Amino acid sequence: MSNKGFHVAVVGATGAVGQQMLKTLEERNFPLKSLTLLSSARSAGKTVSFRGEDVTVQEAKPESFDGIDIALFSAGGSVSKELAPEAAKRGAVVIDNTSAFRMDPEVPLVVPEVNKEDLRDHKGIIANPNCSTIQMLVALEPIRAAYGLKKVIVSTYQAVSGAGAQAVEELYSQTKAIINNESFEPKILPVGSDKKHYQIAFNAIPQIDKFEDNGFTFEEMKMINETKKIMHLDSLPVAATCVRLPVAIGHSESLYFETEKGALTAADIQNLLKDAPGIVLQDNPAEQVYPMPADCVGKNDVFVGRIRKDLDADNGFHMWVVSDNLLKGAAWNSVQIAETLIDMEIVKEQ
Ligand code: NAP
Ligand code: 12T
């Protein structure tokens, strides 16, 4: 650690997202005065390697946040509801990865490529959007800014790591059991279900998170409501269908959108996205070039391809958007928010 920088805490440091947060802080050479790793009592006392040193994980308590400048939360909604206000009260800026505060009007919900100016309004807690929302909005924002958006329809193909380390373990163990002709009992997926669990290996489950009364799942409603909030477009029509696939890492999305401006071609959209921040364009059907989750693992970018004009609807386009759900979808977007707070001098060194 150094004399310059910030006192940072990571809550949920032993989890699938927390581990990627630590890797991202290392890779970005984040300016750290100290690093506090927090978890539940289960993992307290374990050591985790950071920059070649062993750091002991501690049980998260309100007092854990005394003296902390920036707290990255990724330990589930109930932990955030209880401890994020405690951290904020002690002067930390909280960047929360759960859905606990995302729709709170007092809490900025931020994708830096889209709405970093909203960070200036924070009151101690900033929310990191849902993973599927983030990658969709990185791809849509340049189109909104240049041509306006009239409508968005998205279908997702989501990786199991979005549902935590236990869900990844379930995919591996079920795959092995099926190959070896052994019996197994689904226990984790779909998340949000307290009634039934289904096979994920060699399957596709059209439920992520619990069902709402309107027939949409909570994951689908997160994509719909968060998009309107982040883009400041309360009346933009958005619809989503979220599906879990037996992929370990990397969410894919089939996106349909209509622009306000007419007479555009697929080339216009490609030209816009090829130089846009946070995007890598991989779009060359002649060479079978398009994004796939296996290629995006470990990368911070959002990959876009298969851009084509709809055959019937005026101003309608289709595209395919892929990103590492644990990085831009979670850990990297959170650390990027922290870096942006420092760049914009919203958080200053003491
Ligand atoms: P995970 O692999 O299951 O890890 C959960 C982490 O939370 C572990 O470090 C665990 O510590 C800790 N934890 C659990 N209960 C706790 C408690 N009472 N007090 C303190 N720490 C506690 O899950 P994950 O995939 O990393 O996801 C964690 C959370 O991040 C999710 O619940 C979700 O809210 C959020 N998330 C957001 C996105 C997004 O779209 N932006 C994506 C994925 C996840 P132990 O080792 O002690 O159990
Ligand atoms: N249950 O919005 O299961 O924090 O993939 C993100 C992903 C919750 C969230 C998942 C989830 C979130 C999942």
How far is 238 from 256, CA to CA, in rounded Å?
A: 10
Which residue type occupies 84? Answer: A
Averaged pLDDT of the chain: 97
Average pLDDT, integer, range 146-168? 98
Is residue 348 a part of any domain in this protein? no
pLDDT tens readout for residues 296-344: 999 999 999 999 999 999 899 999 999 999 999 999 999 999 999 999 9
pLDDT of residue 53 exceeding 80, the answer is yes
pLDDT of 107 reads 98
Q: CA dist 299 to 22, 130, 131, Å? A: 15, 18, 14
Q: Which range marks the domain in which residue 86 is found? A: 6-129+330-343
Domain co-membership, 248 together with 108: no
Average pLDDT, integer, range 6-19? 97
pLDDT of 193 reads 81
- pLDDT tier for residue 194 given thresholds of 50, 70 and 90: confident
Q: Give Cα 174 distance to the centre of its chain.
A: 26
Query: What CATH number corresponds to the domain at position 243?
Result: 3.30.360.10
Strands 47-50 and 53-56: antiparallel
Best probe residue, ligand 2, of 99, 131, 193 (max atoms within 8 Å of C-beta): 131
Average pLDDT, integer, range 266-275? 98
316 is in an annotated binding site: no
pLDDT of 350 reads 86
Is residue 1 a part of any domain in this protein? no
Q: Which residue in the block uniquely carries the two structure tokens 């096979």?
A: 199
How far apart are the CA of 182 and the centre of ligand 1, in A?
A: 30
On the 0-12 / 13-18 / 19+ scale of CB atoms within 10 A, 194 is exposed
- pLDDT tier for residue 198 given thresholds of 50, 70 and 90: very high
pLDDT of residue 265 exceeding 90, the answer is yes
Binding-site residues, ligand 1, Cβ < 6 A: 12-18, 39-40, 42-43, 60, 74-77, 79, 97-98, 128, 130-131, 162, 164-166, 329-330
How far is 161 from 5, CA to CA, in rounded Å?
A: 31
Domain co-membership, 170 together with 199: yes
Q: What number of H helices and E strands is found in the chain?
A: 9, 14
133 is in an annotated binding site: no
pLDDT of 106 reads 98
